[in-house]
Amino acid sequence: MLSQRRILLAVTGGIAVYKSLELLRLLKKQGAEVRVVMTQAATAFVQLLSFQALSGHAVHCELLDTEVEHAMGHIELARWADVFVIAPATANTLAKMAHGLADDLVSTLYLAANCPVYIAPAMNHVMWNHPATQANVKILQNHGINLISPESGEQACGEIGVGRMAEPETVCQRLISDLTMPQSLANLNVVITAGATREPLDPVRYLTNRSSGKMGYALALAAQKAGANVTLISGVTQLKPPANCNFVQVETAEQMHAAVFENIENCDIFIGTAAVADYRPVVCGGEKIKKNADQLTLTLQKNPDILADVAALKTPPFTVGFAAETNDLEHYARDKLTRKNLNMIAANWVGRAEGGFERDENALDVFWQDGKKTLPMTNKTELACQLITLIAERFDAKTKI
């Protein structure tokens, strides 16, 4: 249920506007208080009176409304909302949001909002797949936007492809799942590492990997939703740090190791999501290495093993590792679980058509000493919630032994 949740629903111009009426009805049925804002383009498809009748509140369309602007109406709406949902979100709206434009009420509200923001895009499949739209979506996700992905099917233009707004039931269920997540980690201290480390070769070059940090950041948000006090120790990413967590930025594996052990006291659960470099150069050149020789030999030395060192503490936290594998996934994951004395390990395939590094979706096979659970391919936000729920279950089982 969404009882007493204050949801600001923004409706932008597209044929999918009719779905927003049903979404409004479902949200009200779940007990939410919903207020609606519309772009002028949206009113060409459905009159604002329809939304006003269903919501029980006046519908706002104008940024400079003479009746409310003396009280900064758009700021009041932004502060009122617990959640801001834009459904449907057109390509034009996504572009304005991604680049900070604020020439209408919806785009201005986005910049003024300090609550979670969800977008349910809707557009022609060619527009959705256009590089500009995909780039804008990635920018918004890096800003912390929650994407409710469009679906595939027949579109109003008669063409078939991905671009249909997710069904109202899907949008509503996503909000219920995110906003009513059980407080299974209430008052627990959770430390999470995320992103890639970088090991400098000289002032210009470095060794690194393809980790985007998306899974670790999603886990930090999911753990917060579950009531945890979260410390996120991040390597290099392009992501915006989650609000209301203890955020520590590092670059190298040694820096991450030091940051972990500065924050590990009183830690209940440690989740090692970061893709930490196994090796670093023995010598880091003080000047740029010149391309003089036909061959260059690098001597590398092993980095500290953060995960193993945490698990080896006299009183270790519940320790969860990650493994990215290209073959024999279960074999290597279980070997790492045993060898490093972990409580759990989450393993995923990399180098395949779906999931892995730099993707918005992933799937996990999660192992513990006497069990296994498969979490199917889904977006990393939902996957993180599923994994946090599983971690909470296993942590609870361990503490009761």
Q: Known catalytic residues? A: 157
The secondary element (H helix, E strand) that includes residue 381 is helix 380-399
**Closest C-alpha among 203, 9, 30 to residue 115:** 9
The SS3 of residue 362 is strand
Distance between CA 96 and CA 41 in Å, rounded?
15
* Close Cβ partners of 189 (under 8 Å, ≥ 6 residues apart): 228, 229, 231, 266, 267, 268, 269
- What are phi and psi for residue 120, nearest 5 degrees? -120, 90
Distance between CA 120 and CA 131 in Å, rounded?
18
308-311's contacts with Cβ under 8 Å and 24+ in sequence apart are: 308/339, 308/340, 308/341, 309/257, 309/261, 310/260, 310/264, 310/270, 310/272, 311/340, 311/341, 311/342
**Closest C-alpha among 166, 82, 237, 181 to residue 384:** 181
Which residue in this structure is represented by tokens 């060192």? 309
DSSP annotation of 71: G
Strand ranges inside 317-370, DSSP E: 318-325, 344-349, 361-368
Distance between CA 345 and CA 324 in Å, rounded?
11
Distance between CA 208 and CA 197 in Å, rounded?
6
Distance between CA 157 and CA 20 in Å, rounded?
19
